[in-house]
């Protein structure tokens, strides 16, 4: 029922209608199923319709492209390079169709700006132009355009090229997302933890803020797996991931799967006191899940040990020192009898 969840997020009226129809005792199963099908189609269209920005100073060619693409895509239009750059900055599209010959700022200048900005460098650009010389095509492609469409347009070719590029874009986005997500727990993975910590570390240096890092480890997890089986162990990791995530209230707080049974937590702008308190809350929350673990020497249920550290980083400090510090605290928490939080 993923489509229903999607529509609910969009507070779609069709979703409310389905709920209503399901609740109504006079609704036949066939009727409910039919509406479910409609909801599926709506969600499909809403979630997959790509946004394209068309940039062309020639209104006739702009109109032609809009007429060709509007039934398949959400379209934005700009009549100059400057206007295009403003629109892209405020609302980046999935694809840009960019005219080469424009007064003031031509297509080459626009793509040059897009490629030199980290926020926009990955948005694919297809050049549209009346210039037929090979040299121009080469120049466009070497500046980073993914394709080239020549005027006058052949509708079927324009459509096919746009569709191909967008399929590629969708695949890349999917891969990017998957590459940062832990397959089991569906929280960010170690790679994402490293890049998020790096980002927050530099921010903390710049603004001279606290940054806290914690590592949580499941107590006697090997004994759990050995006695209850790995499938149950996996379910424990899934529960813990969502329990820790539930306790992080700010959008920039992060929990990731750090290692096998370890979770890495990054708490930007958080003092040692506050971070310790939060981790203590998380430790308690995990204990309160009451997952039976007869083979734990710390408790008869699943518990976690947490080690953490806080710092206001200086320019010349190495990010890994903070993680190492947290790691040492985790070691102490384990040594002191587990199911506890240690902080530095």
Footprint of Mg ion on this chain (CB under 5 A)? 57-58, 99, 101
CB of 102 to Mg ion, least distance (A): 5
User: Measured on CA atoms in the order 224, 333, 301, 231, is the torsion positive or negative?
Assistant: negative
CB of 132 to Mg ion, least distance (A): 14
By C-beta, is 103 or 183 nearer to Mg ion?
Answer: 103
Q: What's the length of the chain? A: 344
Query: Can you state the angle between helices 81-90 and 107-115, rounded to 10 degrees?
Result: 30
By C-beta, is 15 or 97 nearer to Mg ion?
Answer: 97
CB of 170 to Mg ion, least distance (A): 29
Distance CA 18, CA 13 (A): 9
CB of 97 to Mg ion, least distance (A): 12
By C-beta, is 56 or 200 nearer to Mg ion?
Answer: 56
Secondary structure element (H or E) that encloses residue 128, with its range: strand 125-129
Residue nearest to Mg ion (CB): 101
By C-beta, is 110 or 187 nearer to Mg ion?
Answer: 110
CB 186 within 8 A of CB 241: yes
Tokens of 204: 């903390």
CB of 7 to Mg ion, least distance (A): 41
Q: Could you give the residue numbers annotated as active site?
A: 261
List, in order, residues 6 or more apart from 277 with CB less than 8 Å away.
Answer: none
Q: Which of 234, 200, 220 is nearest to 310 (CA)?
A: 200
By C-beta, is 57 or 217 nearer to Mg ion?
Answer: 57
By C-beta, is 58 or 76 nearer to Mg ion?
Answer: 58
CB of 88 to Mg ion, least distance (A): 18
Helix (H, G, I), strand (E, B) or coil at 48: helix
Distances (CA, A) of 323 to 7, 11, 194, 258, 309: 40, 41, 10, 11, 8
By C-beta, is 94 or 99 nearer to Mg ion?
Answer: 99
CB of 145 to Mg ion, least distance (A): 15
């Amino acid at each position: 029922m993923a489509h229903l969840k999607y529509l609910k997020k969009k507070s779609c009226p069709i979703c409310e209608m389905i709920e209503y129809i399901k609740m109504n005792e006079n609704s036949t199963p066939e009727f409910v199923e039919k509406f479910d099908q409609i909801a599926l189609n709506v969600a499909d269209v809403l979630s997959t319709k790509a946004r394209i920005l068309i940039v062309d100073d020639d209104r006739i060619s702009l109109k032609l492209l809009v007429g060709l693409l509007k039934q398949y895509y959400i379209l934005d239009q700009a009549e100059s390079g400057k206007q295009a750059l403003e629109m892209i900055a405020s609302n980046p599209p999935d694809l840009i169709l960019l005219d080469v010959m424009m007064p003031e700022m031509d297509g080459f200048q626009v793509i040059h700006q897009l490629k030199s900005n980290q926020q926009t460098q990955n948005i694919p650009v297809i050049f549209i132009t009346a210039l037929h010389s090979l040299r121009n095509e080469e120049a466009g492609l070497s500046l980073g355009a993914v394709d080239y469409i020549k005027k006058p347009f052949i509708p079927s070719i324009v459509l096919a090229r746009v569709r191909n590029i967008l399929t590629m874009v969708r695949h890349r986005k999917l891969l990017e997302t998957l590459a940062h997500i832990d397959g089991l727990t569906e929280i960010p993975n170690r790679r994402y933890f490293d890049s998020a910590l790096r980002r927050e570390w530099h921010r903390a240096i710049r603004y001279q803020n606290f940054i806290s890092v914690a590592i949580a480890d499941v107590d006697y997890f090997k004994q759990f797996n050995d006695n209850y089986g790995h499938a149950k162990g996996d379910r424990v990791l899934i529960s813990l991931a969502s329990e820790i995530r539930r306790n992080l209230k700010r959008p920039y707080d992060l929990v990731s799967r750090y290692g096998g049974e370890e979770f890495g937590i990054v708490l930007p702008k958080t003092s040692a006191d506050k971070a310790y308190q939060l981790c203590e809350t998380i430790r308690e929350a995990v204990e309160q899940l009451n997952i039976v673990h007869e083979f734990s020497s710390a408790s008869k249920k699943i518990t976690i040990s947490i080690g953490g550290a806080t710092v206001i980083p200086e320019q010349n400090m190495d990010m890994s020192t903070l993680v190492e510090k947290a790691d040492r605290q985790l070691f102490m928490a384990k040594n002191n009898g587990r199911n506890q939080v240690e902080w530095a």
